Amino acid sequence: MHIHILGICGTFMGSLAVLAKELGHTVSGSDANVYPPMSTQLEEQGIRLCEGFDPAHLQPHPDLVVVGNAMSRGNPAVEYVLNQGLPYCSGPEWLSRFVLQGKWVLAVAGTHGKTTTSAMVAWILEYAGMQPGYLIGGVLKNFPVSARLGGSDFFVVEADEYDSAFFDKRSKFVHYRPRTLILNNLEYDHADIFPDLAAIQRQFHHLIRIVPGEGLIIRPRFDEALAQVLEQGCWTPTQSFAVLDAERDEGGRPEPSGWGVRLLQADGSVCEISKTSHLGSTVSARLQWSLSGRHNVCNAVAAIAAAHHVGVDITVACEALGKFASVKRRMELLGEVRGIHVYDDFAHHPTAIETTLDGIRQRLNEIPGSRLIAVIEPRSATMKMGVHQSCLASSCRAADLCLWMSGAGNGLDIEGIIAESPVPALNFNSVDDIVAYLSRHCRAGDHIVIMSNGGFGGIHGKLLSALAA
């Protein structure tokens, strides 16, 4: 079968293409913006990429067109599919029909941390010899590709709440029918399709409704938005997790049964993971790994709980995460030039920005003279609509300096954010101006974190080159 994917370079659709190729299909795809790392992965898999949405890319006609949720009416390729009567479906529908049938699905949902936590779950199962299949919306460092069919009945999927397609406005995750479900957290996001938090909570409750009574839901102990979702009705056992930290007062002690984590290092690089059973007995294991930040610690304990549900010992899970290499664009160190470290991070929500910067700040506190510089492109639809205007300034308080990129069609008041910033902040109108500023003012010991959910005009390579020059 020849499958053509519209929007193939999106993280989800690109991973879908890899699965279709592994199933033996001929796979091609179109997208408006073809850039690494996804484009590189697809080309390595022998998948033909077409720039733009010319209907000629659909000739001769494929057997099936899989339509990404970024596609809308008026798109030339979409109009051609409809006018010619070509068979089509959404990406989540294709995944459900052709891959997930008969599988034990472990799904990771939530506003933040889905990609990283999904990668953790898949790696733990792989390390334990369980050969899971997986589809994760990113390029993984512990695996050669971002999706595979696997050699067992276990399948790990990043479960996104965004809608499925222009013709299917349900959240993607309702197609997946998980047996083990992680709910990482829940905040307002995706303002382009959800009018308020209640609308997102409704979709999450649709997901909860399809988890079997013999399955498991893993959730944070102190997330009010998720608690409200569960109060609407839950027919599945739940286990909670929390950071057991008297200093920050996030719970103090476990519930009668549940998961806890104690930080043995302030940055979260060493901690103790524990599980208390309903009978009161506790088992624990030490986790020492390369990641930092309380958000990643929470991701870790959720992933360990999910893996434990399918039979992985806690000690084995901690050993696996000790060898976990994370995901590209998640605090990924791109290079060090003259003692200046440059990172790439996907953060595009105030909470993600705050937790990411706080995580690296905890680590830099041990290195005298280090400066943390945040470079942020407010690119997501929610950001551009100005929804997070009031909390963006404070999200950068862990940095020593914040550089903001203005953009056309941006509803944010960048100057207002700068005026309220608790740290020095500057506004720039071009990538070249940011690169020029950093190359003049940075010094050895600086750590530059570039934050965007897009290509950011190639700033990463330009900055490394400028610093080297």
Report, as an integer, the average pLDDT of 373-392: 74
Q: Which helix (H) or strand (E) holds 12?
A: helix 11-22
Looking at per-residue confidence, does 2 or 411 come out higher? Answer: 2
If phi > 0 it is left, if psi is from -120 to 50 it is alpha, else beta; for residue 129 that is left
Confidence of residue 415 (pLDDT cuts 50, 70, 90): confident
- pLDDT exceeds cutoff 60 at 246: no
Token pair for residue 400?
């020593």
313 & 215 share domain: yes
pLDDT value of residue 285: 94
Q: Residue 249 falls within a domain, yes or no?
A: yes
Q: Residue 39 falls within a domain, yes or no?
A: yes
Closest to 98 (Cα-Cα) out of 70, 68, 135, 128: 135
Q: Residue 43 falls within a domain, yes or no?
A: yes
What is the model's pTM?
A: 0.85
Confidence of residue 391 (pLDDT cuts 50, 70, 90): confident
Residue 124's φ and ψ, nearest 5 degrees, are -60, -45
Angle at 207 between CA 4 and CA 124, to 5 degrees: 75
133 & 254 share domain: yes
- pLDDT exceeds cutoff 60 at 53: yes
Q: Residue 97 falls within a domain, yes or no?
A: no
Domain around 392 = 332-468
- Concatenate the DSSP letters of all residues of 306-363 into one string: HHHHTT--HHHHHHHHTT---BTTSSEEEEEETTEEEEEE---SHHHHHHHHHHHHHH
352 & 425 share domain: yes
Q: Residue 326 falls within a domain, yes or no?
A: no
How far apart are the C-alpha atoms of 341 and 463, rounded to whole Å?
Answer: 11
Angle at 108 between CA 362 and CA 186, to 5 degrees: 65
Residue 92's φ and ψ, nearest 5 degrees, are -60, -35
38 & 168 share domain: no
Domain boundary among 62, 90, 118: 90
Looking at per-residue confidence, does 412 or 384 come out higher? Answer: 412
- pLDDT exceeds cutoff 90 at 6: yes
107 & 199 share domain: yes
CATH at 215: 3.40.1190.10
Report, as an integer, the average pLDDT of 294-308: 95
407 & 432 share domain: yes
Radius of gyration of the chain (CA): 22
282 & 351 share domain: no
CA dihedral 40, 45, 47, 52 (to 10 degrees): -10
Q: Residue type at 258? A: G
350 & 210 share domain: no
Q: Residue 255 falls within a domain, yes or no?
A: yes
List, in sequence order, the alpha helices (H) in 23-176: 38-44, 76-84, 91-95, 114-127
Q: Residue 179 falls within a domain, yes or no?
A: yes
Burial of 117 (0-12, 13-18, 19+ CB in 10 A): buried
- pLDDT exceeds cutoff 50 at 248: no
Confidence of residue 11 (pLDDT cuts 50, 70, 90): confident
Place of tokens 């965007």: 452
β-pair type (371-376, 282-288): unpaired
Domain boundary among 275, 293, 321: 321
How far apart are the C-alpha atoms of 235 and 212, rounded to whole Å?
Answer: 8
Least confident residue range of 6-20, 182-196, 231-245: 182-196
Residue 390's φ and ψ, nearest 5 degrees, are -70, -20
CATH at 17: 3.40.50.720
pLDDT value of residue 254: 44
As a whole-number percent, the residues of the chain with pLDDT over 90 amount to 62
Confidence of residue 128 (pLDDT cuts 50, 70, 90): very high
Domain boundary among 321, 355, 376: 321
Place of tokens 């989540």: 92
353 & 462 share domain: yes
Q: Which helix (H) or strand (E) holds 372?
A: strand 371-376
pLDDT value of residue 180: 98
Count other C-beta atoms under 10 Å from residue 237's C-beta. 14
How far apart are the C-alpha atoms of 138 and 116, rounded to whole Å?
Answer: 9
Report, as an integer, the average pLDDT of 133-146: 87
Report, as an integer, the average pLDDT of 36-54: 86
Place of tokens 């799904």: 107
337 & 299 share domain: no
- pLDDT exceeds cutoff 50 at 247: no
User: Average pLDDT of the chain?
Assistant: 89
- pLDDT exceeds cutoff 80 at 138: no
Place of tokens 């790994």: 289
Is the separation of the CB atoms in 320 and 123 below 8 Å? yes
β-pair type (446-451, 425-428): unpaired
Q: Residue 327 falls within a domain, yes or no?
A: no
424 & 448 share domain: yes
Report, as an integer, the average pLDDT of 103-124: 95
How far apart are the C-alpha atoms of 192 and 348, rounded to whole Å?
Answer: 14
* DSSP β-bridge partners for residue 337: 340
212 & 359 share domain: no
CATH at 430: 3.90.190.20
Q: Which helix (H) or strand (E) holds 5?
A: strand 2-6
Token pair for residue 139?
């390029």
Token pair for residue 438?
């950093």
Tens of pLDDT, residue by residue over 317-335, are 999 999 998 777 778 888 8
Report, as an integer, the average pLDDT of 171-190: 93
Cα torsion 64, 70, 74, 77: sign: negative
Spatial CB neighbours of 356, under 8 Å, sequence gap ≥ 6: 293, 295, 331, 345, 347, 449, 451
- Name the domain count of the chain: 3
Looking at per-residue confidence, does 352 or 12 come out higher? Answer: 12
- pLDDT exceeds cutoff 90 at 453: no
Tens of pLDDT, residue by residue over 193-212, are 888 999 999 999 999 999 99
